[in-house]
Structure 1
Amino acid sequence: MAGRIVVYSRSGTTARLAEDLAGRLGCEISRIDPGRYGWPVLGYMRAGRDSLREYRPAITVTPPVQGADWLVIGSPIWTSYLSTPLRSLVDQRADLPPILGVFTTSGGVDEQKNVPLQIDGIGAAGAIPPWLSLTTKTHGTEAGEDKIAAFVAQLQSQIASIPPGG
């Protein structure tokens, strides 16, 4: 059964977590490219503005996710919300394999109060998928490792329950 991690990462923090999760789950990574947040300071400012305005950029996902049996999606948090590139992906969920889990990263403060509303109903069969939230202060710590291990265990349980070919 082939799964895939789909991630957007502007600075590389979320991409590093995606690589860790992909290694533990034995799956490949697809990267989201919105083509608009590359400039260091200007890109950061544009990302914040777009997030507050709920702008959805056009995205490309490489490699494409067609053919995967399930997805786990990851995003940094911008202004208390999932990044706009990941929101664009979630808007396409009717055309995607089932989303089994969501992981997010944020700066030093866990300001993710709006994420539960954004992931409500995007999981397999309209469920709320498991959610891993790490800050830069917890990623790489024992507490962070415990959260990652629990998240992976939840995902592995879901993966094991997917019928072959389904």
Structure 2
Amino acid sequence: MNDILIAYYSMGGNTRRVAEEIRAATGADMEEIREPKPRRGLRGVVGALFDATLRRRPAILAGAHAPADYDLLVIGGPIWASRLAAPVRTFAERNATQAKKVAFFCTEGGKGADVAGRPPRRAASFRCPSQST
């Protein structure tokens, strides 16, 4: 088993690509954060915006990996309406306290986000070829 687990949510593929880049660089295990009913089309986008704005915590499916088994849990997801994507919020609240150490990454195409209520200790950015998250 690896020492690092990357858990990510991606509706359009950008966050998945970033997670794969991190996995390639670190050799980490990877887990997709999934919802029982995937968000699709305009209805999915509108629902995502409402869930993020209202800081809802939608249901997510159980993963195959136990975050407590890893030295570092890396949680990633897109920014919706300047907020952390709702499924990522659910996953983080459910699992972050189980991990020894936690790191976050996010993808966004706009002005930034209120992810933790304060600026990150470290930040880096790069552009994916497509801007959909």
TM-score (norm 2): 0.81
Shift, 1:90, TM fit: 1.7
- 1:95-117 per-residue CA deviation (whole Å, 9 max, x = no partner) reads 33420x2111112x2332x1241
Quick one: which amino acid aligns to residue 105 of structure 2?
A: F
Do structure 1's residue 95 and structure 2's residue 98 form an aligned pair? yes
Structure 2: give runs of 5+ residues left out of the alignment. none
Structure 1: give runs of 5+ residues left out of the alignment. 121-127, 141-166
Measured at CA, do residues 129 and 59 of structure 1 come closer, stay the same or move farther in structure 2, by a change above 3 Å? farther
Quick one: which amino acid aligns to residue 18 of structure 1?
A: A
**2:13 corresponding residue in structure 1:** 12
Q: Which has the higher helix share?
A: 1
What percent of counterpart residues are identical?
A: 27
Do structure 1's residue 42 and structure 2's residue 43 form an aligned pair? yes
**2:23 corresponding residue in structure 1:** 22
Shift, 1:12, TM fit: 0.9
Aligned residues of 1:14 and 1:74 also touching (Cα < 8 A): yes
- Paired with 2:66 and 2:12, the residues of 1 have a C-alpha distance of 23
Aligned residues of 1:37 and 1:46 also touching (Cα < 8 A): no
Shift, 1:27, TM fit: 0.8
Quick one: which amino acid aligns to residue 98 of structure 1?
A: K
Quick one: which amino acid aligns to residue 73 of structure 1?
A: I
Three-state SS of the structure 2 residue aligned to 1:62 is: coil
Residues matched between the structures, number? 126
Measured at CA, do residues 51 and 131 of structure 1 come closer, stay the same or move farther in structure 2, by a change above 3 Å? same
**1:161 corresponding residue in structure 2:** none
TM-score (norm 1): 0.67
**1:139 corresponding residue in structure 2:** 128
Measured at CA, do residues 14 and 21 of structure 1 come closer, stay the same or move farther in structure 2, by a change above 3 Å? same
Larger Rg over CA atoms: 1
Task: Please report the RMSD computed on the Cα atoms of aligned residues, expressed in angstroms.
Answer: 2.2
Aligned residues of 1:104 and 1:133 also touching (Cα < 8 A): no
